[in-house]
Amino acid sequence: MSKTPSEYEMRFFSMVSRFPRIAHCWDQEECVLIQERFEHELQVMSSVEKAIARFLVGAWFKENRYDFDLFDDLFRMDSSAKRLVIEWIEEQRYS
C-alpha cells in the first residue's frame, strides 16, 4: 500500500529528481529511503555525487546522517547542485 506524500516529501522528490543516480535510492510510493541501495551507490559515486547525496539525505531526514559539510562539500558541487542547496535553505525560512 502506498503512502500519500506530505507537501515536504513532494517538494523533496521534485528536488531529488534532478539527480537520477541518487533519486532511485528513494521509494517514492512508500516515501522511504532504500538504505541498502543508497549505501551501495555511495561507494561508487564521484566526490561531487557523494556531496549531493549527503546533502539530500540530510534534507530528507532533517539531520546530518552522512557528515555533509557545507564548506567542503559545497566546493565539490557544480552550479546546479549549489542552486539546489540554496533553494532548499531559502525554502526552510518559510516552513
Whether residue 94 has pLDDT greater than 60: no
- Structural domain tally of the chain? 1
Mean pLDDT of 10-14: 93
Q: Examine residue 83 and state whether it is found in any structural domain, yes or no.
A: yes
Q: Examine residue 42 and state whether it is found in any structural domain, yes or no.
A: yes
Q: What is residue 2's predicted lDDT score, i.e. its pLDDT?
A: 80
Q: Examine residue 82 and state whether it is found in any structural domain, yes or no.
A: yes
- Per the structure, the complete domain to which residue 81 belongs is given by 7-92
Provide the strand spans (E) within 1-95. Answer: 26-27, 32-33
Q: What is residue 95's predicted lDDT score, i.e. its pLDDT?
A: 54
Q: What is residue 93's predicted lDDT score, i.e. its pLDDT?
A: 63
Q: Examine residue 1 and state whether it is found in any structural domain, yes or no.
A: no
Buried b (16+ CB within 10 A) or exposed e, 66-87: bebeeeebeebbeeebeebbee
Q: What is residue 63's predicted lDDT score, i.e. its pLDDT?
A: 94
Q: Which three three-digit cell numbers place residue 41?
A: 551507490
Condensed to tens digits (0 to 9), the pLDDT of residues 31-54 reads 999 999 999 999 999 999 999 999
> Is the pTM value of this prediction over 0.75?
yes
Q: Examine residue 56 and state whether it is found in any structural domain, yes or no.
A: yes
